[in-house]
């Protein structure tokens, strides 16, 4: 009989894999243009991704379930929920259209795929390398603020190139420098975005504007730490 720790390890992997179910449900909602449901399931996937690592370390899955690669599983689920589904959603909403829109979406898909499989995607001191493919967040702000398709295509093309850039970005739950600020502000930000999602399909632009404080902090802090060498391997 499998040990209780091995069973617990499998349970953690199943929890991580449940993000794929969220991707499926979000995609179904996307195809029917149910904006609220699509972003809700993407938000659930983010919540799973935010806490599954804690459970994995708590149970020590690498020791007790060595035949399952949790990191690879996490990457597969993240690619679906952070990259593929949000970009399909932008196309379905008409926010990405025509040659520029489709070209930008394909560029984002390719660059994110290359970064996900890169051995240096995360540094040893827990920073992301390159823009962390937060296309779900881009999609939500693009919808709420009614981005013009041409402007959004340009923004996505720029961010796609930054995915492969040699820059370091904070991994909020694991980067030790500024961790309390990153996690604390991140929780407030998450609460605001949940309120924005709850209001959909109405656009709660006021709440969304307030929530932009965190992306500004995140970007500025990441660039500052990268500049002073805090994001080095």
Q: What is the pLDDT of residues 57-96, one digit of tens each?
A: 999 999 999 999 999 999 999 999 999 999 999 999 999 9
Which of helix, strand or coil describes residue 168? strand
Residue 123: half-sphere exposure toward Cβ, Cα within 13 Å: 21
Residue 148: half-sphere exposure toward Cβ, Cα within 13 Å: 3
Instruction: Specify if 5 maps to a domain.
Output: yes
Instruction: Specify if 135 maps to a domain.
Output: no
**What average pLDDT does this structure show over 48-52?**
94
Nearest to 83 by CA among 125, 124, 127, 117: 117
H or E segment at 127?
strand 127-129
Report the number of distinct structural domains present in the chain: 1
Nearest to 35 by CA among 82, 83, 97, 86: 86
Please tell me the predicted confidence (pLDDT) of residue 182. Answer: 94
Convert the pLDDT of each residue in 197-231 to its tens digit.
999 999 999 999 999 999 999 999 999 998 887 54
Instruction: Specify if 79 maps to a domain.
Output: no
Instruction: Tell me the pLDDT band of 126, cut-offs 50, 70 and 90.
Output: confident
Instruction: Tell me the pLDDT band of 5, cut-offs 50, 70 and 90.
Output: confident
Whether pTM > 0.75 for this model: the answer is yes
Q: Where are the beta strands (DSSP E) in the chain?
A: 127-129, 168-170
Instruction: Specify if 58 maps to a domain.
Output: yes
> What is the extent of the structural domain holding 57?
1-69
Nearest to 138 by CA among 73, 93, 168: 93
Instruction: Specify if 81 maps to a domain.
Output: no
Sign of the Cα pseudo-torsion (51, 90, 134, 109, in order): positive
Instruction: Specify if 14 maps to a domain.
Output: yes
pLDDT at 165 over 80: yes
**What average pLDDT does this structure show over 100-122?**
95
Percent of the chain with pLDDT over 90: 85
Instruction: Specify if 20 maps to a domain.
Output: yes
Percent of the chain with pLDDT over 70: 97
Instruction: Specify if 121 maps to a domain.
Output: no
């Amino acid at each position: 009989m499998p040990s209780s720790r091995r069973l617990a390890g499998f349970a953690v992997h199943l929890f991580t894999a449940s993000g794929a179910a969220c991707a499926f449900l979000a995609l179904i909602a996307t195809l029917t243009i149910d904006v609220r449901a699509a972003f809700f399931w993407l938000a659930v996937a983010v919540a799973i991704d935010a806490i599954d690592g804690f459970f994995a370390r708590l149970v020590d899955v690498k020791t007790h379930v060595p035949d399952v690669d949790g990191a690879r599983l996490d990457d597969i689920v993240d690619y679906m929920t952070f990259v593929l589904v949000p970009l399909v959603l932008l196309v379905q909403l008409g926010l990405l259209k025509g040659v520029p829109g489709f070209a930008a979406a394909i560029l984002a898909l390719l660059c994110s795929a290359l970064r996900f499989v890169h051995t240096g995607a995360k540094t040893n001191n827990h920073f992301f390398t390159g823009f962390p493919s937060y296309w779900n967040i881009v999609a939500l702000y693009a919808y709420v603020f009614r981005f013009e398709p041409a402007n959004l295509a340009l923004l996505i093309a720029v961010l796609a190139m930054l995915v492969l850039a040699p820059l370091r970005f904070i991994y909020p739950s694991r980067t030790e420098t500024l961790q309390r600020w990153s996690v604390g502000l991140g929780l407030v930000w998450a609460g605001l975005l949940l309120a924005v999602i709850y209001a959909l399909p109405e656009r709660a632009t006021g709440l969304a504007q307030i929530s932009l404080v965190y992306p500004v902090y995140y970007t500025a802090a990441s660039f500052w730490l990268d500049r002073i060498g805090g994001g080095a391997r």
